[in-house]
Amino acid sequence: MLPKRLLLALLLLQPLAAQEALFMHAPDPEGNLRIEAQALFSQPSRGGFLPVRVTVSNKTKNAGTVKLHCVSSASGYRAAESQVESDFSIKGEAEKTISQDILVPLFNAGSRNTSESIRVQMSGSFGEAQGSLNVDGIDGKPAVLLSEPLYTKNASALDSQAATKVTGSGSRYGHFSFAAKFDPRQLPEDWRAYSGYDAIAMTDSDWSAVTPGARNAIMQWNRLGGRLVIYVDGAADLKSLGIKTDPSGGRSMGQVTTLPLPAAMTLAPVETVDFFYGVKPRELPKPFHQSINEDYSSSSVWPLQSLFGEKSFHYAVFVIVLIVFAILVGPVNLFVFAKSGRRHRLFITTPLIALGASAVLMMLIFFEDGFGGRGMRLVLMEVRPDNGENSAYINQEQISRTGVLLGSSFEMKGQAMITPVRMDPSNWSRYTNDSGVGSRFEIQAVDGNLKVQGDWFQSRSEQGQALEAVMPTRGRIEARSESGAPVLLSTFDFPIRTLWYTDPSGAIWKAENITAGKAFTCSQGDASERNLELKRMSESLRRKADGLFDRKGSFVAVTDEAPAIETFSHIAWKQTHTVITGPIAAP
């Protein structure tokens, strides 16, 4: 008969096959208390979130609290350690087993020679424990999630082929992972859990095992730009899988693809790696981590930064103040204020001169930069009134420049996420690919919202962020008549400056100065004028929007008066330019 402790250990390890154990804390030899944390994906992504399932099995009569402090960090050559921190608190009720999923924010290290990891430290009523995972920090490699049945059968061959494709050989890395694995039955039900990954692949049987909540989360992630690949056995298609498609046959910001499931689930290594990584460079959109670190790095690649403009730094004024200060605190102080025989006055005059100079410098800073800041935002929003979704899928990029800040914390409502983007080094930028200064960010998940603080917004700095969100909405463009010139109606609660509509035949129509609740008639439009909107966007947004503009039965609208994802309240957003697209709804 197995010893009791060994039997307990075997039972605990059994469900961890498809996940990665961060820690398992069992201080009671009788098995009455156990706390374990499992990463639901075996490999963290570079940026986004890592879903972690925390289970507190407390068979004792004493309630307690489990506190988790999580740090995702990166450090390496030419870069001090930068990190994102988060804290969670979970109640362990007496004589109950509680399981709770948390989203641990991950740091996006950028295209540098860095060492990346995530550490989780437990404290609280039930003792202490800790665990960690290393991040697969290989630049330019897509982050792929592969279901456990496919992973178990193909991981070794795919790892080898992926290493050969990316590096020419696997010799540069101790272990090259083509993908992270997951258990389809244990998938999280919040789309942000998938936000750092570029593609998810599974079989049709796996898809059937996914819970309805997790399916909805994956489809929301897909709407925001993710690639979902399902290997089907036989004649299964998207309809039979319960995946609703665009009525016009067009696509969303992301892609859903079905592929034949090979015999014995054995994937062809070369074809599979080429499909997920691209046959040629740049054939597919950049991986999430690479896009965040390259598409905003300078005004030449980020149109919004170019439009925002630069601000000069007036060195001369500050140099003059320092020269005057040096003259006053030196010769004038010694030979006038505290001349020979009155040297004791130095103890009074020197601090007064220093305080006066500091006050003058502060006044210059306030006069030059002021309080708070100003910025610009660009939003790409897909509105889906069809299939009962009634949701807006929002991709937002923003840039701001601050003066003096008296605080930097803010709260983001609803299911949203925010990522700092690396900018070109300048007198104002603090978070760059070349910076040797460490940055510290904090994100706390509270009641479904995010409480954010740290170096997101710093005094007298320029910073940029990329944001995503899924928001409920009843706004739509409805068709009133399509005989002759189309007659449409907007139910959005803000005015629309210009709208282009591509009818089912492919003809393009245009309308301007649209107000809510009032039908309007379109006139002939021009695709080239509409497509100028793409030039306003970063490459990341442009790749997502490009396939949306030509969908038949859909519209593209622009406005500067739509709401956006709100962040730091002390920034005055001088412009929020929003591009809205989606299918035309029936009345």
Both 81 and 149 in one domain: the answer is: no
Residue whose tokens read 């005989």: 483
| The amino acid at 395 | N
Both 488 and 375 in one domain: the answer is: yes
Backbone angles phi, psi at 200, to 5 degrees: -130, 130
Both 232 and 381 in one domain: the answer is: no
* Prediction pTM value: 0.86
CA distances 438 to 75, 81, 82, Å, are 9, 5, 4
What pLDDT score does 127 carry?
Answer: 92
DSSP state of 585: B
The total domain count for the chain is 3
Q: Strand, coil or helix: what is 35? A: strand
Q: Is residue 357 part of a domain?
A: no
Burial of 550 (0-12, 13-18, 19+ CB in 10 A): middle
Find the helix packing angle between 148-167 and 269-277, rounded to 10°.
Answer: 80
Q: Is residue 32 part of a domain?
A: yes
Both 127 and 148 in one domain: the answer is: no
Give CA–CA dist 157/165, Å, rounded: 12
Both 121 and 149 in one domain: the answer is: no
Residue ranges for the chain with pLDDT beneath 70: 1-18, 75-80, 110-114, 169-175, 246-251, 281-282, 312-315, 318, 364-370, 434-437
Q: Is residue 349 part of a domain?
A: no
| The amino acid at 129 | A
Burial 498-531 (b: 16+ CB within 10 A, else e): bbbbbbeeeebbbbeebeeeeebebeebeeeebe
Pick the last residue of a domain from 269, 294, 319: 294
Give the closest residue to 398 by CA, choosing from 544, 574, 525, 545: 574
Q: Strand, coil or helix: what is 382? A: strand
Both 91 and 163 in one domain: the answer is: no
Give CA–CA dist 294/290, Å, rounded: 6
Q: Is residue 95 part of a domain?
A: yes
Both 120 and 167 in one domain: the answer is: no
What pLDDT score does 103 carry?
Answer: 94
What pLDDT score does 397 carry?
Answer: 97
What pLDDT score does 82 carry?
Answer: 82
Q: Is residue 346 part of a domain?
A: no
Largest CA distance in the chain: 103
Pick the last residue of a domain from 89, 114, 134: 134
Q: Is residue 126 part of a domain?
A: yes
CA distances 478 to 393, 487, 519, Å, are 19, 9, 9
Asked if 477 and 499 touch (Cβ cutoff 8 Å), the reply is yes
What pLDDT score does 13 carry?
Answer: 41
Give CA–CA dist 400/423, Å, rounded: 12
Residue whose tokens read 């630049």: 139
Give CA–CA dist 465/457, Å, rounded: 10
Element (H, E) at 259: strand 255-260
Both 242 and 120 in one domain: the answer is: no
Asked if 266 and 259 touch (Cβ cutoff 8 Å), the reply is no
Beta strands (DSSP E) in 323-428 are 373-384, 391-402, 410-412, 415-421
| The amino acid at 35 | I
What is the domain extent for residue 124? 4-134
Asked if 80 and 438 touch (Cβ cutoff 8 Å), the reply is yes
Both 120 and 15 in one domain: the answer is: yes
* CATH number of the domain residue 15 falls in: 2.60.40.3880
- DSSP-derived secondary structure for 271-306: HHHHHHH-SSTTSSPPPHHHHHHHTTSSTTT-HHHH
Both 15 and 151 in one domain: the answer is: no
| Helix-strand-coil split of the chain, %, nearest 5 | 25, 35, 35
Asked if 314 and 428 touch (Cβ cutoff 8 Å), the reply is no
